[in-house]
Each structure stands twice: as C-alpha cells, then as structure tokens.
Structure 1
Amino acid sequence: MNDLTIIPTAASSQPQTQYLNPELSLLSFHERVLSMALDTRTPVLERLKFLCIFSANMDEFFEIRVSGLKAMAQSAVAGESIDGLTPQIALDKISERAHRLVDLQYQTLNQQVLPELKTYGIQFLAQEEWTAGQSKWIRSYFKREVLPILTPIRLDPAHPFPLTINKGLSIVVDLHDPERDETHNIAIVPAPRALPRYIRLPPELCINEYEYVYLSSIISANVGRLFSNAEVLGCYQFRITRNSDLYVDLEAVEDLARTLEGELPRRLYGEAIRLEVSENCPKKILNFLKERFQISDDYIYAVDGPTNLNRLITLPDLVNRPHIKYQGFTPSAPDNLSQQNNIFDTINNADVLLHHPFQSFAPVVELLRQAANDPEVLAIKQTLYRTGSDSVMVEYLEDAARAGKEVTVIVELMARFDEQNNLDTAQKLQSAGAHVVYGMVGKKTHAKMLLIVRREGKKLRRYVHLGTGNYHQGNTRVYTDYGLLTNQREITQDVHELFMQLTTQGSNPTLIRLFQSPMGISDMLVKNVLREADNARAGRPAHVIAKVNGLSSPAVINALYEASQAGVKIDLIVRGICCLRPGIPGLSENIEVRSIVGRFLEHGRVFYFLNSEAESELFLSSADLMPRNLRNRIEQCTPILDSNIKETILADLHVYLADNRNSWLMQADGRYVQTIKKTPDEPDLNAQQVLLEAHADTY
C-alpha cells in the first residue's frame, strides 16, 4: 500500500499446535499500534500519540506479562502455555521481537515524526541547539524550578544507591575524582516526579512557535553545579520497569481495602524487569546498572531519545495545530432522547442503543443525574470498575445517597492500576451514605450495570443500563463501546438478581434472559456455536460473528474449530490476543480473524449467531473470550431483543468486516497482514470513519 511501511514479522517457529501463544499475540497487537505511527496517512501529531501509546502498552506488557513469565520461568513447577511453549522460550521470543520494535519506535520518532513536526513549527531542542538566550533562560529555570527539589546522590558507603521507583526517570552521572576509587565516582539524580518531562521555551527566544527542551536535558546541562568538587564525564538517563502485579490472597485477608492500602506502595519497588538506558551510555556505567538491578542483557533496551516517551502524549493538546491532528467531532444523541426531557419516559417508549464515541455518553450521565434528583426514585445500584478521577457519575451517586435514596455501589478494588482511585472513590461514597461492596471474594466484578428502581403510580419499575465498557467519561471519547438502556421486565429482573448475588455472596442465580460469568457466558457461547455447526451439517445457513478484545478460551476456540469443520462461516474481529489459528485446512479454513486498529480503541464485545431460518440472536457483553473473563470474573451478557437495534448492530459489524484501511488479517502462523483494496478502483473504507460520519452531529 502506498506510503505505508508494513512491519516485517518473521513466521512463527513455535510448535504447530492448534493454539497461539497469548503473550506473543499481545505483542503483535502492540506492533499493530506502532504501525499507526509508521503510517504517513496518519496526521503527524497523532503519529506521535501512537508512539506514546505503544510505549505505555509496552510498559504494562513488561510490568504484568513479562514479569509473570519470568516468575514462572524461575519456578521449579513452571509448565507450558496453551501453545506448548515454556515460559523461558516465550521470554526469548519476546526479547527478540520487543528489541526490534523498540528500535523501530525510536527510528520513527527521530527520522520521521520529529523532523515533520519541525516543519510545522514544533521542535524539541538538543543541548547543542540552544542559543545563548535560551541557555541563559534554562539556567535560570533550573535554579528556580528544578534545583530546590532535586536530590542528587553521590554513591559511597554512607550514600547507597537510592530506591528508584517503577518507571521513574533517573540520571546516572559519570564523575572523575582522582581521590576516589571508580565505584565511588558515580552519582544518581532522580528526576522529580512533580516536574513536567518537557518544558516550553519562551516564544520570544525561539525561531519556531513551539520549542521545547526535555527535563533530562536541563538537568544534564546543569549537573556540574551539583558536583562542583568532581569533573562530570557524562550524564545518561535510565528508567527501570518493575513487576507491578499485586499478590493478595483474597480469601485470607479480613479487610481488602486496608490490605490494598498497604500493598500498593510496594508496586513502586517490585522486582526490576526491564532497564531502559540512553544508547550512548558507556559500558562501565551500563555494567554498573546491570549489577545493581540484577538484570541481564535480554531485558536491557538502549534508546535514542527520552526513556519515558509516553510522557509526550500531552503535546498534541498543547499546540494549536488542528490540521495535523484528527478532525474534531461532536458525538450525537439518538433522536428519541433529544426529543424528550424525561429520560425515563423515553426508555418506557423503547429501548435505546448508544454507540460510543460516535454517540454521546451524556444520556447515561443524564439518566443517573435525573435518578439522583427524582423523588420517585427509591434505589440506585451500580458497578464501578474504572471511573477516572473526579467522576461526575460518582458525584451523582453521592448526591443520591445524601438525598436518602438507597444507593449500592459495587466497587472493584482490584481493577489493575486503578486500585488507588477506586479506594478513594469507595471512601467518598461511604462518607456520603452509600452502601459500598467490594464484589465477590476471589472474582473481579467486571460487569457494567446500572439499576434504578422508580415508583410509578402504585408499582415499582426498574430501569437499567448495560454496557460493554466502563463508566469512565474520558474513555467513552476514545473507546468504541455499546450501551443499552431498557426497562424490559425480564432483563431488569435479571440485573436485580445479579446485584443480589454480588451483595449476598450467593451462587450464580437463575436468570431469564441474561447470561453471566463464571461459566454461564462460556456455556451459552459454546452451545450457540455448536448449534450453528448442527445447522451447517443439516444444509441450513450458518454464520457466527464475534467482536472482542481477546480470544484465548480453549473451550470457545475448540467449539469454533468444530463449527468451521462443519462448514460454518465464522468472522472474528479480535483487537488483541487471539490464540486461535485461522485458515488451517481441515481445522479452521472457514474462520477469518481480523484486528481493527485505528483512531479509537476497539472495545465493544458483540456475539452474533444466524440461527438458520429461526430468529437470529445477538448479544452485548462485558466479557472477552478469555479464561479470566469466563471463569474468574463476574460478567454479564445480554441479548438484544429489539429487532431494529439488532439490525443496527449487525450493520455496524458488517462495516467493520468491510474495512480496508485499518484492518489486519491474521494468518495461520500468527502473523498479521494489513487488508488492502482488492482493486485500484475500490474506495477506501475506514470503519471508524464511516461510523463517525453516520452518527456524529458534527464532523
């Protein structure tokens, strides 16, 4: 394809089992994210964002996935993954690919993105590029803003190597002092976390409108002032990534919240997993760092640029350059919501489907606002997995509790990397008088549910919102998700039963319409897939479409293989991990797997079954097709009963399947090949763009 560099991925040499390795599959997704930064059709400020997103993805990949594999490799009882790879072999393959990707990341930054940004008046200046006026300003800035909060540490027996926090920027300084031995001629300068990682220079001192310097450059340029009794031979930035998984025995603790409060600080100082260091760092300094952190060459990444690249993700919001960003848009609201003020009346008339970010999340917020202020609303129950700080939805829940309504909130304290925010949220809600429950022991509550009980005349009526994504307003602008507003009696009764299970720690309830994890969603999906297989064997039409973030459940994969062998057409839209091998003769030749990577993060979970001549079935779910979701979490999966809504979602799925702009087709060996137009005359079809233009009010 013109103007696009395809990332070369060597064919897999792993054992030819019927499954693919989950960690290597996830790394392939990060590779596809990086491809958006390589694509010259992507606006250059957005290319920078994708480089930053790739960095953040790789941080978490090492903090959780690589650290987990490393622990298993060191265990005497380490087994094999679903694909037959041992942890150590998987780590070796990850190292080879990850080093290549990181090299490509910085090549793209230095050779493409930064030079193009300079043509638009945006520049990051190296120290040798500073003018005399800029150097003077930087010295003043260092003295005024940086020096007062720096803690430089020159190493000796009385000053040991300081604790370096997870992903914190530090600078190692190579000193020369003939009165000290070599091991005492090293200093460490941790960069203050309170300071920005890049600083804009005053425009009057600049040629370009936007000129920036890195904080690490400012410290390095002035480091001689910190060690006046020694000669500075060099300064080199480095960053340590640590094991960030929390190990909490949920069945042994008496107070989960208090236990988490004690455990969270330890995440900052877990085992060192990865060392990122300036590529010009001398061997003697590098060896010193290796020894200090007990880390081998496989986990060392020499970088040509800022080690904390993801900190640049805020830049596009700080510069006035709309022509090199994605075009802005205003999400729409369904017509039936904009025509009436009372959202309960609207839901009484018909179910409402919302497709974010193309359609606004505001109706969900408005539903909660009206519920908090409506004297006829008696109770509100909601699950919270990720909300973000300063969530207006949390404020409305607090308002409702203070107004005397029965407010019950299931707060998932173990939502990875949101634990502290969720602890704070729980405390605020409890202070307002809400009942706060931390979900089921040993099982994360990942279901997205909001239940409102309202008195209408002499009856109580329930209203619910069921979503595929979190109640996080920021995410709803960049994640694609579905939400359903309904008061259908059987569905609302099921949601009531799920909340009763969560608060009473009961077993799986008997549900009428909904399905839930553990096990219920998996059993339903396998049953429906095998029903399609039976229909195909009988010569009836059969088709399965699934859109998820991850697919690694052996039970679901095996059912899909059986359906493929029976002749069922299977279309899978899997954003990230996919352990299924498509296109293998006699096993999966009727299965296509594609991944959509574009402006928005694909996040919705949808399952469609043709069901032959009978009525087709379509479900929205909070669950991915992974063992953790289907076995170890509380998830919900709801059928779409409204035929118009079902047709709308099915049409959306077909738009995704027709994408030839941001779609990647998976090969049997795990490689991904970008979908291209079949003929030169075929129009570009960007599914996310099509949905934007179809739904957004302004674009």
Structure 2
Amino acid sequence: MRRKPATPSPVLDRAAPELYLSRELAALEFNFRVLAQARDLRIPLLERLRFLSIVANNLDEFFEVRVAMLKHHHMFGSAAPGPDGLSSGDLLTRIRKRVLDLVDQQYDTWQHELRPALDAENIHFLTRDDWTPLQKRWLQGYFENEVLPVLSPLGLDPAHPFPRILNKTLNLAVVLKGRDAFGREGHMALVRAPRSLPRIIRLPDEVCDGGDHYIFLAELLQGFVDLMFPGFKVAGSYQFRVTRNSELMVEEAEVDNLARALSEELIGRGYARPVRLEIGNDCPKAIVAMLIANFELEETDVYRCDGPVNIIRAGTIYDGLDRPELKFPRFIPQLPAAFNGTLCKFDVLRQRDVLLHHPYESFAAVIDLLRQASQDPAVLAIKQTLYRAGVDTPLVDLLVEAARNGKDVTVVIELRARFDEEANIRLATRLQEAGVQVVYGVVGYKTHAKMLLIVRREDEVLRRYVHLSTGNYHQSNSRSYTDIGLMTSNPGVGEDLHKIFQQLSGLGPVIELKHLLHSPFTLYRGVLEKIERETAHAEAGRPARIVAKLNALNEAQVIQALYRASQAGVEIDLIVRGACTLRPGVPGVSDRIRVRSIVGRFLEHSRVYWFGNDGAPELYCASADWMERNLKRRIEVAFPILDEALAARVYEETLANYLADNTEAWLLDDSGHYTRAEPGEQPPHSAQQWLLAKLIPSVV
C-alpha cells in the first residue's frame, strides 16, 4: 500500500556541530554501561568481577590511544575539530571529568559491592590489616624467598636518577628516614615490580581457615617494604602506575621493510610519552608533585585510586576458581545442522550455503573446513586474511601443513593490528619459514576484512569455496564475541573474493565486484546509495526502513544521510554497541531514528546492515562499522546473504531479536545519555539468552 509522501524536509545544516556527539566521549560512555554489569545483582558474582576488569582494561586502551592522540594534537595544534566542533583542549577537559566519575564508581563498586560479596562467598582479597599472624609469617617467607631476590630497589640521588618506568607496570614510591652508609640523611627510593612476579598471590590453604584468600602484589610489597631497606625507617610507601602512548607512529610510506620498522618501534613502545598517572589515595602531595615533574605531566593527568592501582588484575582469579555457581552457565557451541553426520564440508557447500552464528555455533566448522583443505589432494590453493589470530588457534598449524602438502598458500597478515603487532610479526615469520607466501596488505590501509578462499579441482573444473565473517579468525574470541560467518561456493562470491586477493597480493588496479562491497572503494559509496534509496522510497510514499547492527558509528556523511532519511520518513533502528556520535530523536532531524546498545554476557561484534528496499530487502554482513576509518582507510568487505532463508534467519537473530531486548538494552537520547530499557508490561526478553535457548540444546 502506498502511503502519503512525506512533507519535504526543512532546509537545515545537517553538518551543524550540535547534531553530533563526541566520538571520544561516546566511547568513554560505553564503559559506564559495562560497569553497570559489574553492579548488576542478577549477574553471577565472578562475572561481575570480570566486568570490572574489562572496564579497567578498556580505560587503559582509551588513554594509550585516544587520550594520547588528543594530547599530541593539543600540544602541536595539528588537528582540526571533528564534526562535534570540540577542540582537543575542550575534549581533554570533558574526558577528565567523565573519567573521574568512572574511576570513583569503579572503586566504589570494588570496595563496597564486590569485595563484601566475595567475602560472603568465602573469596577474600586481604589487605595488610587482615593478615593473621600465621598468614603474615607465610607471606614474609614468600616475600624473602620468591620476591626480594628479583627486586632492585633504587635510591634516588644525583648519581641514581629517576629510572625508566615501563608502561602500566606496578611501582612503589618509598620515603626513607635515617642515614645511609655514606652519612647522607634519608631520601626517596623507588621499587619497580618486575613483570615476572604474579600480581595476585593466592595464600595456601594451610594458613587460611577455609575459602580462597588472595592479596595484590602491591599489598605484599608495602607490607614488607622495610626488608628492602635495612637500616632505614620507612616513613611511607605509595603505589603508582603510569600509562604511556601506545600508538605506533611508523610512517609506512617512508620505510623499506614494514615488519622490521615495526619491530624496532615496538621495542620503545613501553617507554613512550606518559599520558596518565594512577596513584593511591594516600599519597602525599609532595610525592605526587615529584612524580608529575619526572613524567612531565600535569595535575590533570593524575587519577587517585581508592584501592589497588592495578585493579585490572582482580579478574585474573576467574579462571583459577572452580565455582560454577558464581559464573555464567557453561554451554557447548553446536555445529551447524547442515554438517551433522557429513564428513566432507565441500559436499555440503556445493549444495547450499551454511551460516555460522558465534559463539552459539562452533568455530570448529571453520577449522574443519581448513583441515580438509590442507589434506585434500584436490585442493590447489588457499588464501586467507589474518588480523587477530590469537595464540591458541590451530589455523596457523593447518596453513603450515597445507604449504608442506604442496598447496599454494597465501596469507595476508595485518602487522598493525593494534596491540597484536608483535604476535603478528612472529606469526608472519613462522608462516614464511614454512613456505607460505605472506603479504602485509596495502601501505596506508589496514587489512581488516575476514576472508578465506579455497580453490579445488573438481571434474576438470576449478571451484572456489569461501568463508567470510564479521569477526576475526581467533578461536578464543569466537567463544565470547557474537559474530556471523558465511560458508558458500557461490561462483559470483568466489570470483569477487579471488579478485580482492589478487589486488591485495599483486597491488592491482581498482576492481569491479558483482556481490561484495569493498572498502575503501565501493563499501562507503554503497552504504550511502542504499540509505539514499530508502530516502527516495519514503519521499515517493513507499515503505522505507533501515536496520543496522554495528560496533560504532561516527562517519559524518553517513550520519547526515541518515538524518536526511529520517526527515524524509524512513524508519531507522540502529543497534550500536559502543560509540555512536549520531543524536537520535532530535525534533525535525532524527525523529525517526532510534539507537540502542546491547551489553551482555557476550561482546556484541557482528555487523549487519538491512535495507527494506520497498519489499525486496537486502541484508549484508560485514567486517566494517560505519566509521570513517573502516569506510575510507581500511580493507573491508561486506557480503550479502543471498539465500533468502538464511537472510531471514540473520534478520530474526541479529536484528528483530535485539530490537526486542528489554533487559540488556540501553537506549540513547538526543543528549548522549543512555537509559537502561525496562520490560514494563512486556515479558522480559534478553537477546543473548534467547539465542542460547534457540541454538543450544542444553546449557550446563
């Protein structure tokens, strides 16, 4: 049924700064939603502790990358304001205010919610005031035998200047009184905790009255700090931690060998420019001033902690505790029904496409496909991208085996996958030594696409088998991230992928693709065109709708296109896990746009785009968010789900299901504030729990 055409939109500046939220502040807000998980009494206790650690880890990366770059731009005046119109100085001021709020809530959660709850479950994090005489004797023996021999306390004087402090390591600043062997009056000293020492120590059962007892390494060091400085009186000891810029600055166009240049820069990453100083609440102002001066920071770079400065370490007890009642119920990911009872994946894929929805369905299907390919005499070539592979993936062993079995194996490795650079350099070296052709992608464009192509000879014909995914070839992530994978032998898709691999390895010209959208070439244009097509449908009085599930949204032209679509009458639902800079619900601009974020047991990672197209809907899954970097500065792929039944399944499971969530969803308003959805009169619905019930026969 045709509807009345929408009233023409008023002419206004869709690029006006007030229509955009700050990317950095939006990213920071995500951590408040994660912290809410740590405070949610409906979530098992050890999972809440894990969420607290995730917040600390996210905050580390936020300072290492986003704040570091903002401080660099502020210092050198090298960046124009973004779409939100905020200067780097304004942003840094606003970031500090929100981080102070986040840190206060983080430590309040630790001190007043999680620690008491853990104590009630007989899991104890002890402070020095909690030690019994028996525990103190054991801890002193542990300190003298295991810790003291590897410490190198350093007194500070002109001959012993302030040492280099490694990024994110635990340190103590110690105030000493008394005369040293050379007659000099008391002084300052530093104690650096080597990385070889465990940051959390479990006390043995024989010194505890039942339960599990832990202490932070900082508590141990402070408890026996006097043993490090015999002959002195310790007037005070204060833990601190410095965060440094971790963004690598290799200019790819100016180096002859990217792998060697990255290796050299990685050596210095741990000692790059400081951006944040975390210090205990009890540290005197004079000590703080000394540390600020040494690290060349400002007072606004200091964050006081009401507890251990490395609170991130609390979550490390999770894996070692056998307390299933305090964790999410275990489940076994299932193999797709299409593969049940069938040994040969190629036989299945010749007949039909197969969809994988991780973590509910097993990543083992991908491994099995590659295993068969590595051993099958009919397979001639294997081509794969690796962005993050992880240390436990058998995929690398299979690629090595395939090369040794005479297959032509090409692997595109992204050396600049942030914080995985060193691991990827080692991976590239291993593959090259096995005879695999390793390609480092394209200078200036990170290869973020997730692609596997297998070429097999069948009855004198070459057939291509393809795996495309929204997530990395990382086995651990596949158990905790939600992602969509597609296996297909569709000739058109295989031909497209063949062309993309040719372009990556041969640095060929721009290519024309039949099915896939390819960044930085057709994906950006394709997204805009499909939004504009919906706008045209709405203006002509036809039904028009867009639904997209993303990790982040910040590309200004895409946002402007969505604003115009909303003004034309297009109904738009966006499921954006993290940073979203679009303001929904602005009268006359984005009335028809709704934005929600899902934060639950699994990290939402799948990207799905759906366009109504006047009754002939199109659905794409992608490796790319609607971010400037993904659409313009990366190698990305969006792949259509051509099988109508599978497309309907993806829509139901990743879009309709998430739009119905009223327990783990957060709703964004036009001010940038998120409010948790409530069931109200509707039955409670958790998208992730619904998928567990639908796709897993039994959850342990």
TM-score (norm 2): 0.96
CA distance in 2, matches of 1:545, 1:486: 24
Q: Distance in 1 between matches of 2:432 and 2:77?
A: 45
* CA displacement at 1:178 relative to structure 2: 5.1
**Post-superposition CA distance 1:33-59 (Å, at most 9, x none):** 111112121111111111100000000
The 8 Å contact of residues 439 and 445 in structure 1, kept in 2 or not, is answered as: yes
Contact kept in structure 2, 1:331 and 1:697, CA below 8 Å: no
Paired position in structure 1 for 2:661: 659
Change in CA separation of 1:184 and 1:268 when aligned onto 2, cut-off 3 Å:
farther
1:297 aligns to what?
A: 299
Measure the CA separation in 2 of the matches of 1:627 and 1:182: 59
CA–CA distance in structure 2, aligned partners of residues 313 and 32 of structure 1: 18
Aligned to 2:112: 111
For 2:692 and 2:411, how far apart are their aligned partners in 1? Answer: 33
- Once the two structures are superposed, residues 584-622 of structure 1 have per-residue CA deviations (whole angstroms, 9 ceiling, x without a partner) of 111100000000011111000100011113x21000110
- Asked whether the equivalents of residues 273 and 299 of structure 1 are also in contact (C-alpha less than 8 Å), the reply is yes
What is the match of residue 450 of structure 2?
448
CA distance in 1, matches of 2:505, 2:633: 17
SS in 1 for 2:384: strand
Query: What residue number does 2:4 align with?
Result: none
Find the residue that maps to 1:56 and give its secondary structure. helix
Moved more, 687-696 or 218-227: 218-227
State the partner residue of 1:96: 97
For residue 182 of structure 1, report the CA deviation from its aligned partner. 10
Corresponding residue of 1:626: 627
What TM-score, normalized by structure 1, do the two folds share? 0.96
Report the CA distance between 1:411 and its aligned residue: 0.4
Q: Is the deviation greater in 285-294 or in 441-450?
A: 285-294
Distance 2:574 2:147 in 1: 52
Listed one character per residue, the Cα deviations across residues 74-105 of structure 1 (whole Å, up to 9, x for unaligned) are 12344212100000001000000101110110
Note if 1:417 corresponds to 2:419. yes
Question: 2:246 and 2:510 mapped to 1: Cα distance?
Answer: 32
- Structure 2: give runs of 5+ residues left out of the alignment: 1-15
The Cα offsets for residues 482-505 of structure 1, whole Å up to 9 and x where unpaired, read as 000001000000000000000011
Aligned to 2:6: none
Query: Distance in 2 between the 1:481 and 1:182 partners?
Result: 63
Cα offset, 1:558, TM superposition: 1.0
**Aligned-residue identity in percent:** 48
Deviations 1:165-217 (A, max 9, x none): 11011111111125799996111111120121111111121123100111111
Deviation at 1:377, TM superposition (A): 0.7
- 3-state DSSP of counterpart to 2:318: helix
**Which residue does 2:473 correspond to in 1?**
471
Q: 1:321 aligns with which of 320, 323, 329?
A: 323
Q: Which residue is 2:608 aligned to?
A: 606
What residue in structure 2 maps to residue 270 of structure 1? 272
Tell me by how many angstroms 1:508 deviates.
Answer: 2.7
Q: Distance in 2 between matches of 1:189 and 1:431?
A: 42
The answer (yes or no) to whether the contact 1:156–1:184 under 8 Å persists in 2 is no
Question: In structure 2, the residue corresponding to 1:550 is in which secondary structure?
Answer: coil
State the shift of 1:319 in Å: 1.2
Aligned pairs for 1:214-363 (under 5 A) are 214-363=216-365
8 Å CA contact 1:122–1:208 kept in 2: the answer is no
* Inter-partner Cα distance in structure 2 for 1:583 and 1:37: 29
**1:273–1:295: 8 Å Cα contact kept in structure 2?**
yes
- CA–CA distance in 2 between the matches of 1:339 and 1:493? 30
**In the alignment, structure 1 residue 645 sits paired with structure 2 residue 674:** no
Q: Retained in 1: the 8 A contact 2:246–2:272?
A: yes
Deviation at 1:507, TM superposition (A): 3.0
Per-residue CA deviations over 1:12-43 (Å, capped at 9, x if unaligned) read: xxx96211110001011111111111212111
Of residues 375, 383, 386 in structure 1, which corresponds to 2:377? 375
The 1:692/1:444 distance shift into structure 2, 3 A limit, reads same
Assess if the C-alpha contact under 8 Å between 1:570 and 1:592 holds in 2.
yes
1:487 equivalent in alignment to 2:472: no
**Partner residue in 2 for 1:675:** 677
Cα shift at 1:698 = 2.4
> SS of 2:600's equivalent?
coil
CA contact (8 A) 1:387 1:471 kept: yes
CA distance in 2, matches of 1:412, 1:229: 54
**8 Å CA contact 1:347, 1:487 repeated in 2:** yes
AA aligned to 1:59 is D
Matches within 5 A, 1:557-568: 557-568=559-570
Alignment of 1:65-80 (within 5 A): 65-80=66-81
- Map of 2:689 onto structure 1: 689
Q: Look up the match of 1:20.
A: 21
CA distance in 1, matches of 2:421, 2:499: 26
Q: Give distance in 1, aligned partners of 2:508 and 2:576.
A: 33
**Secondary structure of 1:612's match?**
helix
Stretches of structure 1 that go unaligned for 5 or more consecutive residues are 1-14
Determine if contact 2:392/2:476 at 8 Å carries over to the other structure: no
Take 1:690 and 1:112, find their aligned partners in 2: how far apart are those partners? Answer: 29
CA displacement, residues 636-674 of structure 1 (integer Å, 9 cap, x when unaligned): 011110001000011111010010111011111111111
SS in structure 1 of the partner of residue 189 of structure 2: strand
CA distance in 2, matches of 1:356, 1:219: 43
For the pair 1:498 / 2:522, whether they are aligned, the reply is no
Deviation at 1:229, TM superposition (A): 2.4
Q: 1:565 to 1:283 in 2, by over 3 A?
A: same
Residues 1:212 and 1:340: Cα distance change in structure 2 (over 3 Å): same
- Is the Cα–Cα contact under 8 Å of residues 177 and 186 in structure 2 kept in the other structure? no
* Alignment of 1:53 onto 2:74: no
Q: Deviations over 1:384-409 (max 9, x none)?
A: 00001142101100111111110000
Q: Which runs of 4+ in 1 moved over 3 A?
A: 178-184
Residues 552-585 of structure 1 deviation map (CA, whole Å, 9 limit, x = unaligned) = 1111111111110110100000111111111011
User: 1:151, 1:374 → 2: CA distance?
Assistant: 56
Letter in structure 1 aligned against 2:553: L
| Other structure's SS at 1:17 match | helix
1:31 matched to 2:37? The reply is: no
User: How far has the Cα of 1:678 moved from its partner?
Assistant: 2.7
* Contact in 2 for aligned 1:446/1:634 (Cα 8 Å): yes
Q: Distance in 1 between matches of 2:56 and 2:455?
A: 44
Following superposition, the deviation at residue 459 of structure 1 comes to 0.7
Q: Is contact 2:177-2:185 (8 Å) kept? A: no
The aligned amino acid for 1:188 is L
- Partners of 1:501 and 1:507 within 8 A in 2: yes
Instruction: Judge conservation of contact 1:569–1:591 (CA < 8 Å) in 2.
Output: yes
1:97 and 1:674 map into 2 onto residues whose CA distance is 19
Match of 1:84 in 2: 85
Specify whether residues 184 and 566 from structure 1 end up closer, same or farther in structure 2 by C-alpha distance, changes over 3 A only.
Answer: farther
Question: Would the alpha carbon gap of residues 340 and 187 (structure 1) be closer, same or farther in structure 2, given more than 3 Å must change?
Answer: same
Match of 1:44 in 2: 45
**What one-letter code is carried by the residue in structure 2 that aligns with 1:500?**
Q
Distance across 2 between alignment mates of 1:533 and 1:492: 32
Q: 2 CA distance for matches of 1:104 and 1:677? A: 26
Report the CA distance shift for 1:175/1:527 in structure 2 as closer, same or farther (over 3 A). same
Q: Could you tell me how far 1:441 is from its partner in structure 2?
A: 1.0
Q: Tell me the amino acid that sits aligned with residue 690 of structure 1.
A: W
Alignment-mate amino acid for residue 684 of structure 2: D
1:431 paired to 2:433: yes
Q: Tell whether the 8 Å contact from 1:154 to 1:184 is kept in structure 2 after alignment.
A: no
Cα contact 1:620–1:637 (8 A) shared by 2: yes
CA distance in 2, matches of 1:522, 1:447: 14
Aligned residues: 682
Q: Quick one: distance in 2 between partners of 1:281 and 1:483?
A: 51
